[in-house]
């Protein structure tokens, strides 16, 4: 119990440091990408469209019910990242590490290279946009000072949706998760992640083209990352559930199912027929149907013939 507490305390400390580095990195990227500085910032004026919330989310002066919903979706990437961290602390699996690395690389490349290479302004940074609502005119636009093409929130939310859903799909195909449970997880991820690009357009933090480009970047990078983890999936799946790092009797890291292409899943299903999950027998046994929904294996399944 003491070892588990020490691990949890150190993990929380490390996560706090990573969060601080992420905030510092965000400000450095914003300073580096000054090619899209808005006119009101060059005049050293306040943002005329509203105020900027933490996480690069604009709270506009022109608001409706959809505005508050869109602000919530602006924080979805951070909430999903928190979910992945909590899932890692609970199961301590390699699949969560692979997903987080893929998401982190996508965000880093998009914010550091793509935006500062394309240098396309966000709505309202150069040209004034005016909307009329109930006989009143409002100037709308983004209070962000960085470039907007492609949308980072859209790319991150998209790759989160694809990697998480495919991770649960792998578990379902390998009979470690019930199909009904997978359907529930799929729709939860769909409702939470995929409206994010639309919310960025509603808040005028991005144009529709920038949000669509961000979605495409998320799809592209997810496919690249899935292909990159293909080798690990093929070579390490027989070690599924085995501990990788231990301190005394406390396991710091388990090998869990990484995200893999569909071709890999077919080989996994064939492997499961030869050696069902949870068994250590060297002889192939197709008469045992093991269905385990946990990520951490329990005791080995004994052969009924040997028991006789």
What pLDDT, in 10s, does the model give residues 217-231?
999 999 888 888 877
Q: Which residue has the tokens 């919530």?
A: 72
Q: What percent of the chain has pLDDT over 90?
A: 25
Tell me if residue 281 falls in helix, strand or coil: coil
Q: Pick the range with the lowest mean pLDDT from 62-76, 161-175, 185-199.
A: 161-175
Most trustworthy range by pLDDT among 110-114, 139-143, 196-200, 257-261: 196-200
Q: What is the distance between the alpha carbons of residues 42 and 190, in angstroms, rounded to a whole number?
A: 40
Per-residue burial over 41-56, b if 16 or more Cβ lie within 10 Å, else e, is: eeeeeebebbebeeeb
The pLDDT assigned to 196 comes to: 94
Whole-angstrom CA distances from 242 to 100, 220, 276 are 21, 32, 15
> What is the token pair recorded at 233?
């999936």
Q: Tell me if the pTM is above 0.75.
A: no
Q: What is the distance between the alpha carbons of residues 227 and 160, in angstroms, rounded to a whole number?
A: 16
Alpha helices in 137-286 (DSSP H): 152-173, 179-193, 196-202, 208-228, 230-236, 262-274
The pLDDT assigned to 191 comes to: 94
Report residue 108's pLDDT band, with 50, 70 and 90 as the boundaries. Answer: very high
């Amino acid at each position: 119990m003491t070892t588990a507490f020490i691990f949890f305390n150190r993990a929380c400390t490390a996560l706090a440091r990573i969060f601080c580095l992420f905030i510092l990195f965000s400000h450095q990227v914003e300073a580096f990408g000054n090619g899209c500085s808005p006119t009101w910032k060059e005049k050293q004026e306040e943002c005329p469209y509203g105020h900027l919330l933490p996480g690069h989310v604009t709270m506009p002066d022109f608001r409706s019910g959809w505005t508050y919903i869109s602000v919530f979706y602006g924080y979805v990437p951070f909430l999903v990242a928190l979910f992945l961290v909590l899932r890692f602390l609970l199961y301590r699996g390699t699949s969560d590490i692979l997903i987080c690395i893929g998401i982190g690389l996508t965000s880093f490349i998009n914010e550091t290279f793509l935006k500062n290479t394309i240098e396309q302004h966000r709505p309202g940074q150069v040209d004034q946009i005016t909307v009329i609502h109930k006989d009143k005119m409002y100037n709308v636009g983004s209070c962000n000072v960085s470039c907007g093409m492609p949308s980072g929130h859209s790319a991150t939310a998209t790759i989160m949706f694809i990697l998480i859903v495919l991770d649960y799909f792998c578990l379902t195909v390998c009979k470690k998760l019930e199909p009904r449970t997978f359907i529930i997880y799929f729709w939860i991820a769909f409702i939470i992640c995929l409206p994010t690009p639309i919310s960025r357009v509603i808040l005028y933090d991005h144009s529709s083209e920038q949000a669509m480009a961000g979605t495409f970047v998320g799809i592209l990078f997810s496919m690249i990352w899935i292909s990159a983890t293909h080798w690990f999936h093929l070579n390490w799946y027989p070690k599924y559930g085995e501990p990788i790092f231990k301190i005394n009797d406390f396991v710091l890291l388990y090998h869990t199912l990484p995200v893999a292409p569909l071709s890999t899943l077919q080989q996994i299903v064939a492997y499961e027929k030869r050696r069902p999950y949870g068994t250590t027998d060297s002889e192939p046994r197709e008469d045992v149907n093991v269905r385990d929904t946990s990520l951490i294996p329990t005791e080995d399944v004994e052969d009924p013939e040997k028991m006789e």
